[in-house]
Each structure stands twice: as structure tokens, then as C-alpha cells.
């Protein structure tokens, strides 16, 4: 390409330093990729949910459900709805968690089980009960007929006419597949979806005469709104009549906080990417000072120079953003896969919206150009006299810089001073309602803190490097000490690079703190209060609310070697974003689980026995937020209106309900909440009994309940932890990208250092420094920089993590703060590794420099 215009010099410059160009672009690619990935992920999520729920709740105009929660109500109400002359049709359904049991076995010899959402439907209105279309066969008519979703049918190789087993509380029942449903997006997020005749479901799941929802279609010409009002007046408070679209929107709005958190992580990665661009361009300009001076001497105006730098950035921005889209697509796929693993909701199809495409590219270009503004202005300010100077390097600007850097720590302290208390305040007081605005201002506080620390870092570099120097000297000899000194030579650059790393590391540490604290609290609870030897739980962890019949508990109880069992039934109710976890306990509960009463509870000895009188125990957090005392009354929303219970005691170690649990007797729960069956059984073995034979016997019983599994204490704890960690992997993956971006920043800084010190390296080599020593000098500098970033990141992350823990505490979960020792250690090791790996390439180029040329280098 022949040069035709001045602006084309920008392209030449990029082409001339491919390594630098690629390094700079990597920042943009990763940043844009993560933004695109996250937007696509959240779009896909909303899209999938909207689609699924709008279909699942029927394409009908209105949906009638019990107010608050997933309760069922008497099917007589259906007749009331049907009696309305404005109702064209009304299709009832009984929606239940169930499981489907396939023929094969898993690797450890246990039956293959999948969670299923089961709809009991009327044969005559089955087609209206959901909005799903039939792909094959027909809807269920009578008996054990099942119409199954296409995804599950395909993955299990089931065809119309095949037989399959369905897990019910009383044990598995055989069902015949009579039809296959087409599900938008392929599957119901990894959960099977099935329809069976309503009477059959009511009988097998112990819900006689109950339904949980009715899809209502208005007569032609009747406005949906007026029918809605009409029906809700008729049906009373206990039932709610909603437009199907509102319900879908509600489901979607529950993702808001999740989406904001995702975007925040994406934002950090982009921010770090912008750092990288800023850094790289500043370096390029330093490198080209004389060239820029010459261009000024030849008559380029300041604006022309600045424009050419911005153009250079814009070119990078365009290409980087486009490449970022590719990366982001892969990333979205990966994230959705991880999301499926973490939250047990598989999404098979990806929805890429034009908005995501355009906004990711626009954000990428804008951020790149913004990051280029300051370097561009500085490039424009290069004096034409620089053209005449022998040495390249900005000399004149040091004075101005001094003034800024004296002010920066102050600004930084101010920002930290504002950001930390603000975040803390939010965490402590407001996060009970984690809404978009609270999230956003919490994020603003966090960002202010990050910025503040970044401003202070330049002043911290020298003492930190000095502190690290003895260690480096010990580890790496004299090169280590020199490297520490080198890192302080351009404090601004070192600080920029280190703060980019700091942000990524501190987020990882903060999340590790939160995760570790939750896990630690769970562990402490289990160790402190679990008196059982085995538990029986649903086999799939996304179907925690399936239940078993009391027969299972009885059979286990009668086994020789079993001393005691206790089963727990549970349900949840929500009102105005406040969630109540309600548990039904039997008399054996305190013999197996130890209950610690909060100080101040009167006569804790007989507090538990008062449950039989219809009183309740409440979690500590709930007591705090509702200002409850022993003897006062707690109001819990229920399927048949709000219920009041006298508080018999306040539980200090309420991990089942995360501090917000309400504990009733099994009878009270069955009576007030229609929940009579349990899904969890804890077993205490007789001392001295043979555990192996006991577990074999229990497993034998469980053959009749393949949707449930037996876990020993150790297995159960491990299961809880792995379920928990799975969710964190998802966030770690996103944060890992921003750490990766900042690692590239270290490479960039080091190559610049090598470039700047060409002559110095030549001299070192001339006086007898070996190639290896020169290389190590560079690597060690990388280690110094990244260790500074990691150490600060660990400190800041622990602090943020503490705030997160407090924040979760306020929302009802009672968590103790556990210091993330292991993650902090890993972060330090990661710091070392990043430093070393980032240093390798620049070190090679330093070691390979020709001595004679370097010494003569001007």
C-alpha cells in the first residue's frame, strides 16, 4: 500500500510493531468479548425464560394461581371460573416437582434420574393448560399416560409407546409415553417436562382435589383487563389473577440483579482492557517522541498528531472489537455451559441480538478511543525541539507530573473514604431488597474505592518494592534487588499495571471470601449440630422439593441398627420480596440436630415441645429484621391467608433457613401450608451397629424410591460443598478473564522497560552480565509488579469480601466472616506465576539484544 494520506501513517505504525499491536488488541478483544458474552448470556437467559414461561403458563390471557408461593387450591374454584360467562375456556393444572427414572444406570450403579416438572391436566383442556405444541402423538387422556418434552425424549431415546418410570412420593410408577411436546429452545433447562391426567397426578402425589393453576381465556370481545378484575373480585384474596405476560415479566425481573452483577464483571474486564490500551499507547508515544517531534518540525499541528494517535486507537478498537465478537460468542457459549452446570439450568440455543452486537462493538471502540485521549494529547504536546535531541524520551513533562502525583493520593484517599463507608452502609442496611439501584450504587462505591486505591498506588510502589527487595534478593540474588529498583523507576507505569491486576485479584478474593464464609458457616453448623449418620435426599439437586411418602421413613425406622430418624418437610412463601422458609419438624428433630437458642430465649428446654401447640421457632436473622422476641407473634403468608404463630424460641444456628427459617410442627405445616410430605430424612445409627450392612439395607429400600439417594455425613457435606462451588466457578470464569487481561498489561509494561533500557542492558552485558542474568532482571521486575498488584488486590479483596458478607447477612442469611486464607495464598502464587510468564517474552528480547548496537543506541 502506498502512502497517500497523512492519516495512513497510523496504519503503518500499527503494522510496524505487530507484537505491541497484538498485545494492545488482546485487551480490547477480551474486554469486548466479555461484554458481548455477558449481554448475550443475559439475553439468552431472558429469552429462554420468557419463551418457556409464556408457553408453560399457557398462551391464555389470564392465569389464576394461589397468592404468594406455589400452593395448590381446591379444584371446586375451577367451576366458579368456568361459570363466568366472559370466560371462553379455563384449563386447570396441578404443577408438581417430580422425577423421571430412566432404564440405564449411572457409573456408580445407581439409577439414572432426571428432575421433572409434572403438570396434571384435564384431558379435555390439556391443549390449553400450557402453550406447548405437540410434536408427536397426543395429550394424556386417562391412567398413567405421559406426554413428555422433546429434549428429554430425544436424549433418553424414548418414543411414543415406550414405557418409563415416574418417581412419586409413594415410589416409582410406570407410565406410557403417548405424546411428545415441542419446547422452545429445545428443553426446559435440563429439567424434563411432562403432562399426565389430572386425577392420576392428584392421586399419586397425594393431592386429592387440588390444582395449582388455571389458564383462562376471555370470550372474544371481552377486554382481558375487565375479566381480570371481575375474576379477582369473585375469587377473593387467596387467589391471584394475573395476565400471563405480567407473570413472565416478573420471572424476568428476578434476573435483574444477576444481570447487573454480570455486567459489572464485564465492565471491570473492559476497564482493565482500557488500562491496557492506555498503557500501550503511552508507551508507543514515549518510544516515538523524536519521530513525533520531527513531524511537528515538518509542520504537523498538535491536532494532527493527536488525531493520528486517536486514529491508531480507533483502528485497534475496530479490529479488536470485531475479534472480540468472535471471542465473545465462544465465551457466551462457555458461559451458558457453565451457567447450566452452576445453576442446573441448561440452555441449548444462543440468542444473539443486534443490540448485543452493536453495543459491544460501540463500547469497545468508545473505550479504546477514550483510553487514547490522554496519550494523544500528550503526543500532541511533544515539542518539535525533540526532533533535534539525541536521546528519545519525554523530558519536559516531569515537572507537571509532579504536581499531579502529589495530589493523586489525596484524591485517592477521598475516594476510598467515600467508597468504602458507602458500600458498607449499603451492605448493612439496604441489601434486604437487592434491587437494581442498590446494586448500581454499591458498584459505584466499589468502583470509587478501586479508583481511589489506583491513585494511591504510585506512592505505595516505592515502599512496597523496598519491602519486596530483600525477599527478591534472597530468591533471585542481585538481579532481584535491581529489578525491584527498576520497578520504581517509572512509578506511574508500574502503578497502572499493578492496579489493573489488583482489580481482578481483589474481585476474585472478594468472591472467594463470600463463598468461603458461606461454606464455612454451613460447615460450622453441620459440625456443631448434625447428630445424624446418614441423610436421604433427592438424587438430583435441582429438584429439592420433591417428597417421599411416610412409608419410606417408616421402613427405614424399622431397620435394625437404626436408632432414630427425623424427616423434615419444607415449603417457602414469599411476600413483597421477603422470602419465608417454613419447615415442619417431627419430635425426633432435637435428638438428631442440636438447636442452639439465641441468648435471651426463655426456658429453651421446652421451647421445642411448644411446636406441638402450634407455636414456632424462628431464625435469628428473621427475629432481628422483624423485631421478634420469645412470646411475640410472627406473621407468615400462607396459601389460605396470613398465619400468626407465637414465637417459642429464637434459633441461633438456623442454617436450614439461612437465618430466616420458621419452624413448625409437621402437623401445623400440613394443616396451614398443605405440605404433609417430607423430602429429607436424617438417620441416626445405633452405636456399635454395622454401618456397612445398615447402609446396604437402606439402599435396598431406596430401590423403590430411585429419585432419592442415601448419603453418609461425609458424602453429604461434600455434596453441599460441591453444589456450592459449582455456582462460584461461573463467576470465577468471568473474573478470570479480567485477570488475564491485566496479565497482558504486565507483558506490555515489561517490553516497554526493555525497550527504554536498551543502552543500559547493553552496558550491563558489556561489563559481563550474562544473558540469563539480564533475562532474570526482566522477569524479576515482572514478579515485583505483579506481586504488588496481587498483594494490594488481596488486601482490598478481603475488605470487599467482608462487605459482601455483611451484605448477605443483611438480606436474611446469617453468615460469619471467614478469612479466605487459601484463595489469598493462591492469589500470591498466581502473582508470582503471572510475573514470571509475563516476563518471559520481554526477557528473551532483552537477552538477545546485540551488545554493540545496544551500547551505541541513542
Partner 1 sequence: MKFRDSLTAGQTGYKRRFRRLQSSPGYTRYVEKNGRVAVEISDLEKVYGEGRAAVRALKGISLEFPAGEFAAIMGPSGSGKSTLLHILGALDRPSSGKVVVGGQDLSGLSDRKLTLLRRERMGFVFQFFNLIPTLSAEENILLPALIAGEKAAKYAGRLDELLDLVGLQNRRTHRPDELSGGEQQRVAIARALVRNPDIVLADEPTGNLDSKTGDGILALLRESANRYEQTIIMVSHDARAAGSADRVIFLADGRVVDEARGLEPDEILERVKTLESTS
Residue ranges binding partner 1 (CB under 8 A): 2-6, 9, 12-13, 15-16, 290-291, 294-302, 304, 383-385, 387-388, 390, 858
- Considering the complex, what minimum distance in angstroms separates the CB of residue 470 from partner 1? 37
Of the pair 398, 605, the CB lying nearest partner 1 is at 398
Q: Which is nearer to partner 1, 12 or 633 (CB)?
A: 12
- Rounded least distance, CB 6 to partner 1, Å: 4
Task: Name which of 226 and 301 has its Cβ closer to partner 1.
Answer: 301
Calpha distance 590→648 (Å, rounded): 14
| 312 vs 12: CA distance, rounded Å | 9
By beta-carbon proximity to partner 1, the closer residue of 16 and 362 is 16
CA-closest candidate to residue 669, choices 601, 612, 620: 612
Closest separation between CB of residue 16 and partner 1, Å?
4
Closer CB to partner 1, 3 or 475, in the complex = 3
CB atoms < 10 A from the CB of 695, how many? 18
Helix/strand/coil percentages in the chain, nearest 5: 60, 20, 25
Residues 6 or more apart in contact with residue 548 via CB below 8 angstroms:
169, 170, 536, 677, 678, 679, 681, 705, 708
Which helix or strand (DSSP H or E) is residue 793 part of?
helix 771-810
Q: Which is nearer to partner 1, 292 or 503 (CB)?
A: 292
Report in angstroms how near the CB of residue 302 gets to partner 1 at its nearest.
6
| CA pair distance 457, 501, nearest whole angstrom | 12
Distance of alpha carbon 436 from alpha carbon 579, whole angstroms: 18
Shortest Cβ 852–partner 1 spacing (Å): 16
- Say how far residue 659 (Cα) sits from the centre of its chain: 22
Rounded CA separation 628/646 (Å): 10
Nearest 5°: the CA angle 273, 279, 283 is 145
DSSP 429: I
Residue 127 or 294: the one with the smaller Cβ distance to partner 1 is 294
**Of 390 and 767, CB closest to partner 1:** 390
Q: What is the 3-state secondary structure (H, E, C) of 802-837?
A: HHHHHHHHHCCCCCCCCCCHHHHHHHHHHHHHHHHH
Query: Are the CB atoms for 279 and 370 separated by under 8 Å?
Result: no
Q: Which is nearer to partner 1, 304 or 701 (CB)?
A: 304
Nearest to 244 by CA among 217, 210, 211: 217
Q: In the complex with partner 1, which residue's Cβ is closer, 298 or 767?
A: 298
**Complex with partner 1: residue 303 or 437, whichever CB lies closer:** 303
Q: How far is the CB of 383 from partner 1 (least distance, A)?
A: 7
What angle is formed at CA 672 by the lines to CA 671 and CA 674, rounded to 5 degrees?
Answer: 70
Q: To the nearest whole angstrom, how small is the minimum distance from the Cβ of residue 389 to partner 1? A: 9
Look up cell 417454613; give the residue. Answer: 582
Shortest Cβ 3–partner 1 spacing (Å): 4
Q: Which residue intervals of 426-549 are DSSP H helices?
A: 436-476, 478-487, 491-529
Give me the helix-helix angle, 713-756 and 18-56, nearest 10°: 150
- To partner 1, the closest distance from the beta carbon of 297 in angstroms equals 5
Q: Say how far apart CA 665 and CA 476 lie, in whole Å.
A: 67
In the complex, minimum distance from the CB of residue 756 to partner 1, in angstroms, rounded to a whole number: 17
Residue 378 C-beta: closest distance to partner 1, Å: 15
Q: Output the nine-digit C-alpha cell for 631.
A: 412470646
Amino acid at each position: 500500500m502506498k502512502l497517500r494520506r497523512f492519516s495512513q501513517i497510523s496504519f503503518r505504525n500499527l503494522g510496524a510493531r505487530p507484537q505491541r499491536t497484538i498485545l494492545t488488541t488482546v485487551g480490547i478483544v477480551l474486554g469486548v468479548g466479555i461484554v458481548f458474552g455477558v449481554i448475550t448470556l443475559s439475553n439468552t437467559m431472558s429469552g429462554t425464560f420468557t419463551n418457556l414461561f409464556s408457553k408453560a403458563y399457557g398462551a391464555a390471557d389470564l392465569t389464576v394461581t394461589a397468592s404468594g408461593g406455589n400452593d395448590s387450591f381446591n379444584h371446586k374454584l375451577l367451576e366458579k371460573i368456568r361459570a363466568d360467562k366472559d370466560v371462553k375456556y379455563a384449563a386447570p393444572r396441578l404443577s408438581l416437582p417430580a422425577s423421571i427414572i430412566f432404564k440405564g444406570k449411572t457409573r456408580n450403579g445407581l439409577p439414572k434420574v432426571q428432575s421433572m416438572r409434572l403438570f396434571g391436566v384435564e384431558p379435555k383442556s390439556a391443549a390449553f393448560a400450557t402453550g406447548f405444541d405437540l410434536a408427536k402423538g397426543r395429550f394424556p387422556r386417562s391412567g398413567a399416560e405421559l406426554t413428555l418434552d422433546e429434549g428429554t425424549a430425544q436424549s433418553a431415546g424414548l418414543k411414543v409407546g415406550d414405557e418409563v418410570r415416574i418417581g412419586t412420593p409413594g415410589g416409582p410408577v410406570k407410565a406410557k409415553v403417548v405424546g411428545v411436546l415441542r419446547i422452545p429452545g429445545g428443553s426446559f433447562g435440563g429439567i424434563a417436562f411432562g403432562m399426565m391426567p389430572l386425577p392420576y397426578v392428584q392421586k399419586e402425589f397425594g393431592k386429592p382435589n387440588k390444582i395449582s393453576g388455571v389458564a383462562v381465556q376471555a370470550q372474544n370481545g371481552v377486554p382481558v383487563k375487565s375479566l381480570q378484575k371481575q375474576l379477582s373480585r369473585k375469587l377473593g384474596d387467596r387467589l391471584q389473577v394475573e395476565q400471563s405476560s405480567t407473570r413472565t415479566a416478573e420471572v424476568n425481573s428476578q434476573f435483574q440483579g444477576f444481570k447487573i452483577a454480570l455486567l459489572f464483571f464485564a465492565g471491570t474486564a473492559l476497564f482493565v482492557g482500557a488500562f491496557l490500551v492506555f498503557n500501550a499507547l503511552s508507551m508507543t508515544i514515549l518510544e516515538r517522541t523524536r519521530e513525533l517531534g520531527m513531524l511537528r518540525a515538518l509542520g504537523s499541528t498538535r491536532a494532527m498528531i493527536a488525531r493520528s494517535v486517536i486514529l491508531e486507537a480507533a483502528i485497534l478498537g475496530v479490529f479488536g472489537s470485531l475479534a472480540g465478537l468472535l471471542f465473545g460468542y465462544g465465551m457466551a457459549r462457555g458461559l451458558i455451559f457453565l451457567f447450566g452446570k452452576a445453576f442446573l439450568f441448561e440452555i441449548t440455543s444462543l440468542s444473539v441480538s443486534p443490540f448485543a452486537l452493536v453495543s459491544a462493538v460501540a463500547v469497545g471502540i468508545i473505550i479504546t478511543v477514550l483510553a487514547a485521549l490522554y496519550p494523544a494529547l500528550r503526543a500532541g504536546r511533544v515539542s518539535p525541539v525533540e526532533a533535534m535531541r539525541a536521546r528519545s524520551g519525554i523530558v519536559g513533562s516531569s515537572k507537571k507530573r509532579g504536581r499531579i502525583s502529589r495530589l493523586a493520593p489525596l484524591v485517592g484517599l477521598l475516594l476510598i473514604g467515600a467508597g468504602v463507608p458507602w458500600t458498607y452502609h449499603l451492605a448493612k442496611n439496604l441489601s434486604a431488597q437487592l434491587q437494581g439501584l442498590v446494586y448500581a450504587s454499591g458498584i459505584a462505591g466499589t468502583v470509587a474505592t478501586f479508583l481511589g486505591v489506583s491513585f494511591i498506588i504510585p506512592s505505595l510502589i516505592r515502599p512496597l518494592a523496598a519491602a519486596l527487595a530483600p525477599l527478591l534478593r534472597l530468591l533471585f540474588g542481585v538481579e532481584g534487588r535491581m529489578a525491584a529498583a527498576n520497578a520504581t523507576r517509572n512509578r506511574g507505569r508500574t502503578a497502572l499495571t499493578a492496579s489493573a491486576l489488583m482489580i481482578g485479584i481483589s474481585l476474585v478474593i472478594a468472591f472467594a471470601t463470600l463463598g468461603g464464609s458461606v461454606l464455612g458457616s454451613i460447615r460450622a453448623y453441620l459440625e456443631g449440630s448434625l447428630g445424624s449418620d446418614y441423610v436421604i435426599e433427592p438424587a438430583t439437586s435441582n429438584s429439592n422439593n420433591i417428597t417421599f411418602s411416610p412409608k419410606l421413613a417408616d421402613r427405614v425406622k424399622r431397620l435394625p441398627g437404626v436408632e432414630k430418624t427425623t424427616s423434615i418437610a419444607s415449603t417457602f412463601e414469599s411476600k413483597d420480596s421477603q422470602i419465608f422458609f417454613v419447615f415442619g419438624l417431627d419430635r425426633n428433630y432435637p435428638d438428631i440436630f442440636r438447636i442452639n437458642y439465641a441468648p435471651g430465649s426463655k426456658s429453651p428446654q421446652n421451647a421445642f415441645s411448644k411446636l406441638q401447640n402450634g407455636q414456632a421457632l424462628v431464625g435469628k436473622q428473621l427475629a432481628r429484621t422483624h423485631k421478634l422476641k420469645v412470646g411475640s407473634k410472627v406473621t407468615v403468608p400462607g396459601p389460605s391467608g396470613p398465619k400468626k404463630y407465637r414465637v417459642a424460641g429464637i434459633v441461633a444456628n438456623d442454617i436450614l433457613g439461612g437465618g430466616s427459617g420458621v419452624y413448625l410442627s409437621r402437623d401445623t405445616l400440613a394443616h396451614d401450608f398443605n405440605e404433609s410430605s417430607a423430602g429429607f430424612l436424617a438417620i441416626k445409627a445405633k452405636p456399635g451397629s454395622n454401618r456397612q450392612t445398615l447402609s446396604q439395607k437402606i439402599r435396598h429400600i431406596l430401590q423403590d424410591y430411585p429419585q432419592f439417594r442415601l448419603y453418609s455425613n461425609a458424602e453429604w457435606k461434600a455434596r453441599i460443598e460441591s453444589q456450592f462451588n459449582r455456582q462460584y466457578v461461573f463467576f470465577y470464569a468471568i473474573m478470570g478473564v479480567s485477570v488475564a487481561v491485566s496479565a497482558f498489561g504486565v507483558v506490555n509494561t515489561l517490553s516497554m522497560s526493555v525497550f527504554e533500557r536498551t543502552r543500559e542492558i547493553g552496558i550491563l552485558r558489556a561489563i559481563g552480565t550474562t544473558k540469563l542474568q539480564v533475562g532474570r532482571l526482566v522477569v524479576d521486575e515482572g514478579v515485583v509488579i505483579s506481586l504488588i498488584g496481587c498483594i494490594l488486590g488481596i488486601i482490598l479483596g478481603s475488605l470487599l469480601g467482608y462487605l459482601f458478607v455483611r451484605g448477605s447477612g443483611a438480606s436474611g442469611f446469617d453468615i460469619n466472616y471467614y478469612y479466605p486464607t487459601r484463595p489469598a495464598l493462591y492469589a500470591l502464587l498466581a502473582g508470582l506465576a503471572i510475573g514470571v510468564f509475563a516476563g518471559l517474552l520481554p526477557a528473551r528480547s532483552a537477552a538477545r539484544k546485540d551488545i554493540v548496537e545496544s551500547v551505541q543506541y541513542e
